[in-house]
A and B are shown apart, each in its own frame.
Chain A
Amino acid sequence: MIRLEHLSKSYPSSTASGQPMHAVRDVSLHVRAGAVLALVGTSGCGKTTTLKMINRLIEPTSGVVLIGGQDVREVDAVSLRRQIGYVFQMIGLMPHWTVGDNVATVPRLLGWPDAKVRSRTDELLAMVGLDPSVYRDRRPAQLSGGQRQRVGFARALAAGPKVMLLDEPFGAIDPIQRSALQDEFKAIQKTFGLTVVMVTHDVSEALLLADTIAVMDGGQVLRAGSPRELMTDPQHPYVELLINTPRRHAESIERLADLGKPEPAR
Chain B
Amino acid sequence: MTDQIMVQLSRLPDRLAAHVLLTVAALGIGTAISVPLAILANRLPRLRGPLLGTAGVVQTIPSLALLALMVPLLGQIGFLPAFIALVLYSMLPILRNTVTGLAQVDPGVREAAMGVGMSSPQMLLKVELPLALPVIIAGIRTSAVWVVGIATLSTPVGQASLGDYIFQGLQLRNNTAVLIGCAAAATLALTLDGLIRLLEAGVQNARRGLVSAAGAGLLLVAGIAAIPLMKSPVGAHVGAKSFTEQYIVAEIVGNQLREQGFTAKVTRGMGSSILFESLVNGNIDVYVDYTGTIWANVMKRTEIEDADATYEQVKDHLKAEYGIETIGRLGFENTYALAMRRDDAARLGVRTVAELALHAPAMSIAGDYEFFGRPEWTRLQETYGLRFKDVRGMDSTLMYNAVRDDNVQVISAFSTDGRIAAYDLRVLADPQNALPPYDAVILVSRQAAAKPGFIEALRPLVGSISDERMRELNKAVDVDGRLPVNVAKE
Residues of chain A at the chain B interface (Cβ within 8 Å) = 55, 57, 78-83, 86, 88, 90-96, 105-106, 109, 155-156
Contacts and interface: CB of A to CB of B under 8 A. Distances in A.
Q: B interface, by DSSP: helix, strand, loop or mixed?
A: helix
B131 interface: yes
B131 A86 contact: no
Interface string B123-162: 0001100110000000000000000000000000000000
A86 B109 contact: no
Which of B108, B111, B116 has most chain A Cβ within 10 Å? B116
Contact of B115 (A83, A86, A109): A86
Contacts of A155: 116
B52 interface: no
Contact of B119 (A78, A88, A92, A95): A78
A96 B130 contact: yes
B399 to A, nearest CB: 59
Given A78-B117, A96-B131, A109 B112 contact: no
Nearest to B105: A95
B383 interface: no
B483 interface: no
B122 A109 contact: yes
Interface residues of B, number: 19
B117 A94 contact: no
Contacts of A106: 116-117
A157 to B, nearest CB: 11
A78 B121 CA distance: 12
B108 A90 contact: yes
7 contacts: A82-B117, A83-B117, A90-B106, A90-B111, A91-B112, A92-B113, A109-B122
Interface string B89-121: 000000000000000001111111111111100
Nearest to B133: A96
Contacts of A79: 117
A67 to B, nearest CB: 14
A88 B131 contact: no
Contacts of B111: 57, 88, 90, 92
A55 B107 CA distance: 18
A81 B115 contact: yes
Contacts of A94: 109, 112-113, 126-127
Nearest to A81: B117
A165 to B, nearest CB: 8
A14 to B, nearest CB: 15
Contacts of A156: 116
A255 to B, nearest CB: 40
A52 B485 CA distance: 77
A79 B116 CA distance: 9
B297 to A, nearest CB: 59
A109 B131 contact: no
A57 B117 CA distance: 10
- The list of the 3 closest CB pairs from A to B, nearest first, reads A92-B112, A90-B108, A82-B117
Contacts of A109: 116-118, 122
Given A95-B131, A96-B130, A82 B108 contact: no
A78 B112 contact: no
Contacts of A91: 108, 112
Nearest to A56: B114
Nearest to A106: B116
Contacts of A90: 106-108, 111-112
Contacts of B114: 57, 81
A92 B108 contact: yes
Contacts of B117: 78-83, 106, 109
A107 to B, nearest CB: 11
Given A94-B127, A95-B131, A96-B131, A86 B116 contact: yes
Nearest to A102: B112
Contacts of B113: 92, 94
B118 A92 contact: no
B257 to A, nearest CB: 61
B48 to A, nearest CB: 20
A229 B20 CA distance: 78
B109 A95 contact: yes
Given A90-B107, A90-B108, A109-B122, A57 B115 contact: yes
Given A78-B119, A94-B113, 11 more contacts: A55-B115, A57-B111, A57-B115, A80-B117, A81-B115, A88-B108, A92-B110, A92-B113, A93-B109, A94-B126, A105-B116
